[in-house]
């Protein structure tokens, strides 16, 4: 027998456990994923349904009818409301029950509403205390309509979100995992030297200059390349790659040049925990609009898609090794782990702070 049954036997850890940071904006979907029909997602082991009101504004609601725990994501949008299509209870976008069959007026039962915001092409949801849900806490990103012509995609990965964070905090793996894809196409060595790491309040800025190297294999002229990204809580990867005439890096003292680059690219990604062992990975990649054209974008997307399939393979294999590894077993840190260890410390600090707040209640 595998699981459980009726309520009390379901003793595995669920919503409200200490395993996730709650007071954060999480990416739930690309905005364009949400159209006329509701979509149900599990984030942080909690079921959430998203739908659009008549005016198009998104609503994030607990995906569990308080009546018999049917998923509201199998329900029907009616104006601003969402009706459970199991037994017909209808909830307003404030979570309050508006209609209950055979009971008039409806009693004051309600479902939880999560703060939700659309920004930068993403649908964000706040999984913690609503009073702290300030949209200003959403960091600046590139968006899909800005300076870059971006293509988007989504991937589910059967691995813990922290393994994905590790992966993205250390791009030295491009030379190995992606030796024939991203590594080859960038024509530089990511693992040779440690990048510059700057700690930010909610994450890290990681910067590398590659001097006097070709932009890509076969390109005629060597350039100086500035790769700079922020890796921010809960798991946002916001990177630009900019190419300058060779010599620029040294001339600027390895700071960011004031003049515009010859060309640039951007990547906007987010890691969202589904459970402690499954993650959803949102990614967009694009080219600065002056240089963007469909053929160039097609080529980049092909490389990125191949590379992220490589990431999925290694992450899922790594998770399986972790599964059969005694928990006390220590990992050995390399110089390239500086960023991921800093980010893991940040995660631990936030989890501890939230646990303390919960305990103080």
Taking the complex as a whole, how short is the minimal distance between the CB of residue 35 and its own copies, in angstroms?
20
Among 131, 332, 356, 359, binds its own copies (CB under 8 A): 332
Which residues are within 8 A (CB) of 320 and not within 5 positions of it... i.e. 6 or more apart?
none
Shortest distance, position 19 Cβ to its own copies, whole Å: 6
CA 107 to chain centre: 38
To its own copies, the closest distance from the beta carbon of 208 in angstroms equals: 12
Number of residues forming the site for its own copies (CB under 8 A): 80
Q: How far apart are CA 159 and CA 183, in angstroms?
A: 23
- By CB under 8 A, the residues from 294 to 313 that bind its own copies are 313
List the end-to-end C-alpha distance of the chain, in Å, as a whole number: 38
Is 341 a binding residue for its own copies by CB under 8 A? The answer is no
Of positions 1, 131, 359, 360, contacts its own copies by CB under 8 A: 1
Is 164 a residue that touches its own copies (CB under 8 A)? Answer: no
Query: Does 331 interact with its own copies (rule: CB under 8 A)?
Result: yes
Give ∠ CA 146-55-84 in degrees, rounded to 5. 115
| Cα–Cα distance, 225 to 144 (Å, whole number) | 23
| 71 near its own copies, judged by CB under 8 A | yes
**76-78 and 81-83 beta bridge pairing:** antiparallel
Site map for its own copies, 104-133, x if CB under 8 A? Answer: ---x-x------------------------
Among 87, 196, 251, 289, binds its own copies (CB under 8 A): 87
Output the DSSP codes for 260-298: PPSEEEEEEEEEEEEETTEEEEEEEEEEETTT--HHHHH
CB of 341 to its own copies, least distance (A): 11
Select 256 or 358, whichever has its Cβ closest to its own copies.
358
247 and 109 Cβ atoms separated by less than 8 Å: no
């Amino acid at each position: 027998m595998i699981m459980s049954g009726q309520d009390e036997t379901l003793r595995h850890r669920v919503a409200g456990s200490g395993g996730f940071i709650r007071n954060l904006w999480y990416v739930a979907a690309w905005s364009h994923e949400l159209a006329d029909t509701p979509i149900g997602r599990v984030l942080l082991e909690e079921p959430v349904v998203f739908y659009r009101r008549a005016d198009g504004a998104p609503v994030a609601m607990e995906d569990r009818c308080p009546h018999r725990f049917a998923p509201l994501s199998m329900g029907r949008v009616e104006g601003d409301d969402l009706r459970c299509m199991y037994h017909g209870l209808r909830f307003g976008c404030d979570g309050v029950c508006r209609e209950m069959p055979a009971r008039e007026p409806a009693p004051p039962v309600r479902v939880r509403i999560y703060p939700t915001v659309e920004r930068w092409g993403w649908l964000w949801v706040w999984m913690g205390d609503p009073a702290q849900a300030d949209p200003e806490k959403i960091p600046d990103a590139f968006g899909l309509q800005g300076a870059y012509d971006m293509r988007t995609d989504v991937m589910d990965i059967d691995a813990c979100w922290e393994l994905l964070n590790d992966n993205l905090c250390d791009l030295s793996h491009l030379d190995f995992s992606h030796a024939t894809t991203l590594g080859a196409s960038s024509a530089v060595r990511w693992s040779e030297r440690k990048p510059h790491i700057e700690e930010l309040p909610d994450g890290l800025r990681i910067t590398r200059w590659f001097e006097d190297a070709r932009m890509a294999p076969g390109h005629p002229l060597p350039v100086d390349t500035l790769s700079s990204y922020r890796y921010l809580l809960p798991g946002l990867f916001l990177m630009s790659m900019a190419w300058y005439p060779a010599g620029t890096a040294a001339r600027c003292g390895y700071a960011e040049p004031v003049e515009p680059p010859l060309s640039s690219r951007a990547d906007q990604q987010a890691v969202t925990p589904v459970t402690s062992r499954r993650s959803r990975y949102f990614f967009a990649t694009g080219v600065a609009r002056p240089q963007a054209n469909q053929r160039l974008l097609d080529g980049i997307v092909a490389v990125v898609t191949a590379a992220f399939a490589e990431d999925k393979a290694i992450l899922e294999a790594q998770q399986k090794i972790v599964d059969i590894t005694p928990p006390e077993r220590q990992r050995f840190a390399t110089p390239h782990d500086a960023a991921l260890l800093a980010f893991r410390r940040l995660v631990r600090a936030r989890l501890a702070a939230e646990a303390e707040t919960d305990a103080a209640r």
